[in-house]
Structure 1
Amino acid sequence: MPRLLIVKTGDAFPEVIEQYGDFEALFRQALAEDGFVAEVFDARHEPLPDLAEVDGLIVTGSHAMVSDAEPWSEALKPWLVAARERNLAMLGVCYGHQLMAAAFGGESGYHPAGRESGTHGVSLTESGREDPLLGTLPRHFSAQLTHAQSVLKAPSGSVVLARNDHDAHQALRYGPRQWSVQFHPEFTPEVMRAYLTRQVDKLRDQGQDAHALMRRVIDTPEARSLLVRFAQAVTPAS
């Protein structure tokens, strides 16, 4: 089994944690569907682990903002660069996506069109269709999304693997085994609806109807499958 490490960068809302589990629990549940297990490192409160003890990293989402440059977040950047230099397998999700892009020379910040929340369509680029990880997905698939910030400028040398009408950088590849996605493969429909319930006022302020978005929430098995596929890619060949 690969030595997987979940890099925890934040907490979900209290009611989400109570009913469904925190971010790391959601990842663990998805990975457990195919028998994979993962340790957890809380980047906000724990010292940086030794990369030699890890086969693959999964960097979670957060309610923090990458552009706020909190000390714990900034400390992760050179660590992630070192992980890429070791060709360690990595998968960043939402905040993790934005943080990896910023660490590798891109730019992350508030999206000029505002927040994207709910179940939305995502499309693979031609490069995405040929990618060893995302290329297993349909050309067009649904994913759970909730973010106010985005990757505004992809790092030099990275490859855009997926996009949609809201976000030109829904998925990026930074090297042969380093990926990140803006969407949440670990979210279930119930978790997505709980997030939309929290965002009613914020979405109304930007002209969106959270209740209508709730009615359009569906299961997203294709996006969810990325977590197990990533773990399989990290598993050493027997």
Structure 2
Amino acid sequence: MKSFVIFKVGDTFPSLSAQLGDFDRWIINGIGPSTLPVTVVDPRTENALPDMDKVAAAVVTGSHSMVSDRAPWSENLAAWLRSAVEENIPVLGICYGHQLLAHALGGEVGYHPDGIELGTVCVSRTKAANDDPLFGGLPDEFPAHVVHRQSVLRLPPGAVRLACNDFEPHHAFRAGEIAWGVQFHPEFSADAMSGYVTELTDASKPGALPRDSISGQVRATSEAASLLPRFASLVAKRMDAQA
């Protein structure tokens, strides 16, 4: 049976993982019950990436690493994602995964000229999102959790821009028929977002951000969170159609 693969490309802060688990667990919880087996793959430590014919869909987590560093493991995963899109395998990239997917397909990734976006912010759908199978059911504006210093500065050729805000013009895009990238974090709970704000603005730690770096006060983000079960539902329907 094909697996729902989660590429775990980073780790949250130890203080958060001790309380809430790590990125892969947040995504599994967000997806909810699934008829597909879930396989977690860490490309930073595992040499071989999954064979395409064994993958029903792939989600790429966030990371504290930077796509522009071009780490060998990251470039290997980028090549895998490029092939997955060519094979029409459903893909969802989150934050780092969003940026890596864009890089893999010919977009440009780098540091955002205005620095960090941190907290819970308002994200707006574009008109193109109205007919998108993943974003079409969302409201025109919705709150979403964010923490990122790098962004997709230029979308890949042919990509469809799906969401944005005043800070980030490329909060979501679709490449091909069934591959998406989202800069915001649908897997973050309010507790996880609050934990990031606390960690990054802790004045006792080197490099702490000032409190006025927070882009928006933490609040519930049920609409953004709905993207994970929506994606899982699209994958399940696709598998049923191929059976």
TM-score by length of 1: 0.93
Match runs of 1:92-103 below 5 Å: 92-103=93-104
Structure 1 residue 64: Cα displacement: 0.1
Q: Within 2, Cα distance between the matches of 1:10 and 1:42? A: 8
Match runs of 1:161-180 below 5 Å: 161-180=162-181
Contact preservation (8 Å) 2:2, 2:53:
no
Contact preservation (8 Å) 1:61, 1:94:
yes
Contact preservation (8 Å) 1:118, 1:217:
yes
Residue identity in the other structure for 2:64 = H
Q: Within 2, Cα distance between the matches of 1:237 and 1:40? A: 23
Question: Given the superposition, is the C-alpha separation of residues 167 and 187 from structure 1 closer, same or farther in structure 2, using an over 3 Å criterion?
Answer: same
Q: Within 2, Cα distance between the matches of 1:40 and 1:78? A: 18
Long gaps (5+) in structure 2: none
SS in 2 for 1:151: strand
Question: Given the superposition, is the C-alpha separation of residues 37 and 76 from structure 1 closer, same or farther in structure 2, using an over 3 Å criterion?
Answer: same
Q: Within 2, Cα distance between the matches of 1:36 and 1:162? A: 29
Contact preservation (8 Å) 1:2, 1:234:
no
Structure 1 residue 3: Cα displacement: 2.5
Structure 1 residue 186: Cα displacement: 0.3
> Segments of 4+ in structure 1 off by > 4 A?
33-37
Question: Given the superposition, is the C-alpha separation of residues 225 and 35 from structure 1 closer, same or farther in structure 2, using an over 3 Å criterion?
Answer: farther
Residue identity in the other structure for 1:17 = S
Tell me the residue number matched to 1:203.
209
Q: Within 1, Cα distance between the matches of 2:34 and 2:146? A: 24
Could you report, residue by residue, the CA deviation over 1:11-34 in whole angstroms, capped at 9, with x for unpaired residues? 010011100001001011111257
Match runs of 1:82-97 below 5 Å: 82-97=83-98
SS in 2 for 1:237: helix
Tell me the residue number matched to 1:237.
240
Give the paired residue count: 233
SS in 2 for 1:10: coil
Question: Given the superposition, is the C-alpha separation of residues 209 and 105 from structure 1 closer, same or farther in structure 2, using an over 3 Å criterion?
Answer: closer
Matched, 1:11 2:11: yes
Residue identity in the other structure for 1:220 = T
SS in 1 for 2:29: helix
SS in 2 for 1:134: coil
Structure 1 residue 49: Cα displacement: 1.1
Identity fraction in percent: 47
Question: Given the superposition, is the C-alpha separation of residues 36 and 51 from structure 1 closer, same or farther in structure 2, using an over 3 Å criterion?
Answer: closer
Q: Within 1, Cα distance between the matches of 2:147 and 2:31? A: 21
Could you report, residue by residue, the CA deviation over 1:188-213 in whole angstroms, capped at 9, with x for unpaired residues? 00000000011115431xx7254x95
Question: Given the superposition, is the C-alpha separation of residues 144 and 34 from structure 1 closer, same or farther in structure 2, using an over 3 Å criterion?
Answer: farther
Structure 1 residue 78: Cα displacement: 1.2
Match runs of 1:182-201 below 5 Å: 182-200=183-201
Tell me the residue number matched to 2:25.
25
Tell me the residue number matched to 1:53.
54
Match runs of 1:70-149 below 5 Å: 70-149=71-150
RMSD over aligned CA atoms reads 1.7
Residue identity in the other structure for 1:161 = L
TM-score by length of 2: 0.91
Tell me the residue number matched to 1:44.
44
Q: Which moved more, 1:36-45 or 1:177-186?
A: 36-45
Tell me the residue number matched to 2:68.
67
Tell me the residue number matched to 1:154.
155
Could you report, residue by residue, the CA deviation over 1:75-134 in whole angstroms, capped at 9, with x for unpaired residues? 111111110111000000000000000000000110000000100000000001221111
